[in-house]
Structure 1
Amino acid sequence: MTEKRNIPGFVYKLMLLAATVIWGIAFVVMKDAVDVLPPAQLIGVRFFLTGLLMAVVFHRSLKGTWNGPCLKAGLVLAAVTFLAFWVQTIGLADTTPGKNAFLTATYCVIVPFMLWAAAGKRPTVANIGAAFLCIAGIGLVSLTASALTMEFGDVMTLLCAVFFAAQIIAISHYSKKFNVLALTVYQFLFGGLLGMLVGGLIEPMPNLSALTPEFAFNLFYLVVFASGLCYLFQNMGLAHVAPAQGALLLSLESVFGVLASVLLYGEVVTGRMLVGFALIFAAILVSELAPARKTSEQREGAADYDADEEYAPVA
């Protein structure tokens, strides 16, 4: 506990920021990798290899955590995380990395409303205004001008944002009760097994001739950097940064995702899409920055709420 207290708070925020840069590039990497492995199998292999790697590196942190409550928490996180990434990857196969990145980031706007449903904490006026801004932005980014319909990939990406919102709340809750490193290991091991199980049941087997060195590099990036390092940064960061501030920092992933898509994937961003991206990002800022101006009394109440033993939003 002493080591944790000696680490300045801004270091945990830098961890979250670094994760967003790596994840931004990962949108392009995933776009290529999903052409080789179907979504569930890709997520399963990625997560399981990450879990094995982290179990070896942090094996000392696993001592004393092989118990029912900790394993259950890891399983809950694994299920929510797998669903989020699986649905996101399905959407990515039918949309561009830039659109996938920004539509995923709408989870920041969803979090306050999910907290309302889970614990009865009403959204602020700013949260409601952010929701309208976000809806307008989604319309500009995703709706076709002729038929006012959304592409399948965009719909799936918005669905994944709901799961990511649940994941943020779950990590913030469980990281206060269990060892963060052990929790992250179980999150990936169980998520990987779940992905391989689902993929083996409903997806076709991959073409082995498509497993090229380029795919191996993409998988290495996803396992070591986009999964292992980033989730270690996220889970440690969210354990020491307020959920609203953490969600705000993580939302920058969308900006880096669009930049990576334009520079590495060659995505063409239209003026209409730019306005939509701007509205979505403005919604994220309004939703997350405005609540930060609460009084100290309200903050203390929020802290008491976060520590509430009865709060189990995704169990």
Structure 2
Amino acid sequence: MGVPDKQYPMTVYRLILMTAAAVWGLGFVIGKGAIGTVGATWFTAIRFLGAGIVLVILLFPHLKRNFCRKTLKAGLIIGMATFVGFWTQFLGLGLTTPSKNAFLSACYCLTVPFIWWVVSRRRPPAKTLIAAAICTVGIGLVSLTEGFSISLGDSVSIASAFLYGGEIVIIGLVMRDNDVLTITVVQQFTAGILALLLALVTQPMPTMAQVATPEFIGAMTYVAMLSAAFGAVAQNTAQAHLSPSEAGLLCSLESVFCALFSVAFFGEVLTARMAVGFAFIFAAIVATQLGDKGGDAAAAGSSADGSTGGESTTSGKPAKRNRGRIAR
């Protein structure tokens, strides 16, 4: 799907991205129960396969025009990285609270520049190093117990931030002038099939009693149709018009929305120390985004969960589509 010819005020695209962030944030809370029912691997498989089916139905004419060997190869590569990143995050979500998982995994905004440093051999700016230090303090406040130990769920969530960062860099390297929506569909099916194969080998098949409940069906419908399918299209559309720095900042609001929804609906108790830790992590994320003019890290994918969109020019016309994460 190309960039629409009709241009809307920039506020519209900001609201679209903020809506997607809110959808993702609520998805953490809703997905917690579903993961507890079938496990992280089956949850990953159902989520991505469901999203892929929805997108095929919605985008079939577009896919017929744009599907080719090049988009298939790019989608397969990105899909494998997506599977590892999301599966790890869902493992962490099953072992810790939704808000802690969301904030800790959101640290991928900080890991991308360092991974890109290894790939490109270009040192991150000083602000990124400072932000990393601030984020480390925040992670400690959120995750460390009084005995200075860290839970398994928090450790897995932190690991997912590094895997997410690797996925974003891979997307920056693979996604050149390919069709983003076509690759998105291939990505969804690749991640879903990999998760399905792993689930069949390592976990028992979910029983009808587990999945044929209104709660589970409602949760999976939400995360597949809204978090994954809607999130992909909404972010892709918005980021075709917003700069990478602004898009990344707006996407990172998912962790804030998750904390709010988790306290309101999941019954999570937000301690003062956790609140301060969240504030440190969010401040670090904001610090990495402010002043970003779309350099190397941005080109590798500095946005939070979709393809990073090209910056608008002063004439108001959109530049090339961004190359960051395709969909949450």
AA partner of residue 126 (structure 1): K
Q: What whole-Å deviation, never above 9, does each CA across 1:230-289 have from its counterpart, x for those lacking one?
A: 122223344443433322221111100100100010100111111111110111111111
Do the aligned residues in 2 keep the contact of 1:99 with 1:154 (CA within 8 Å)? yes
Alignment of 1:188 onto 2:188:
yes
Alignment of 1:74 onto 2:57:
no
Structure 1 residue 10: deviation in Å? 4.5
The answer for the alignment partner of 1:233 in structure 2 is: 234
Structure 1 residue 35: deviation in Å? 1.5
Do the aligned residues in 2 keep the contact of 1:50 with 1:228 (CA within 8 Å)? yes
Q: What whole-Å deviation, never above 9, does each CA across 1:6-39 have from its counterpart, x for those lacking one?
A: 3555444333221110011011111100111121
The answer for the alignment partner of 1:153 in structure 2 is: 153
Do the aligned residues in 2 keep the contact of 1:54 with 1:185 (CA within 8 Å)? yes
The answer for the alignment partner of 2:132 in structure 1 is: 131
Q: Which ranges of structure 1 fall in alignment gaps of 5 or more residues? A: 293-298
The answer for the alignment partner of 2:90 in structure 1 is: 89
Alignment of 1:168-247 (within 5 A): 168-171=168-171, 176-211=176-211, 212-247=213-248
Q: Distance in 1 between matches of 2:253 and 2:300?
A: 27
Structure 1 residue 123: deviation in Å? 0.8
Do the aligned residues in 2 keep the contact of 1:238 with 1:246 (CA within 8 Å)? yes
The answer for the alignment partner of 1:295 in structure 2 is: none
Give the 3 Å change call, closer, same or farther, for CA 46–52 of structure 1 in structure 2.
Answer: same
Do the aligned residues in 2 keep the contact of 1:168 with 1:247 (CA within 8 Å)? no
Scaled by the length of structure 2, the TM-score of the pair is 0.84
Q: Distance in 2 between matches of 1:11 and 1:240?
A: 10
SS in 2 for 1:192: helix
Structure 1 residue 77: deviation in Å? 1.8
The answer for the alignment partner of 2:30 in structure 1 is: 29
- Of 240-249 and 177-186, deviating more is 240-249
Q: Distance in 1 between matches of 2:198 and 2:109?
A: 28
Give the 3 Å change call, closer, same or farther, for CA 179–12 of structure 1 in structure 2.
Answer: farther
Q: What whole-Å deviation, never above 9, does each CA across 1:218-240 have from its counterpart, x for those lacking one?
A: 11101110110012222334444
Do the aligned residues in 2 keep the contact of 1:124 with 1:291 (CA within 8 Å)? no
> Over aligned residue pairs, what C-alpha RMSD do you find?
2.6
Structure scoring higher RCO (CA < 8 A, sep ≥ 6) equals 1
- Of 237-246 and 51-60, deviating more is 237-246
Number of aligned residue pairs: give it: 303
SS in 1 for 2:290: helix
Q: Distance in 2 between matches of 1:253 and 1:23?
A: 6
Scaled by the length of structure 1, the TM-score of the pair is 0.88
The answer for the alignment partner of 1:296 in structure 2 is: none
AA partner of residue 110 (structure 1): T
Q: Distance in 2 between matches of 1:144 and 1:25?
A: 26
Structure 1 residue 93: deviation in Å? 1.1
The answer for the alignment partner of 1:163 in structure 2 is: 163
Do the aligned residues in 2 keep the contact of 1:134 with 1:280 (CA within 8 Å)? yes
Give the 3 Å change call, closer, same or farther, for CA 21–79 of structure 1 in structure 2.
Answer: same
Q: Which ranges of structure 2 fall in alignment gaps of 5 or more residues? A: 302-309, 311-322
Structure 1 residue 67: deviation in Å? 2.2
Q: Distance in 1 between matches of 2:324 and 2:292?
A: 21
Q: Distance in 1 between matches of 2:209 and 2:7?
A: 51
- Of 211-220 and 125-134, deviating more is 211-220
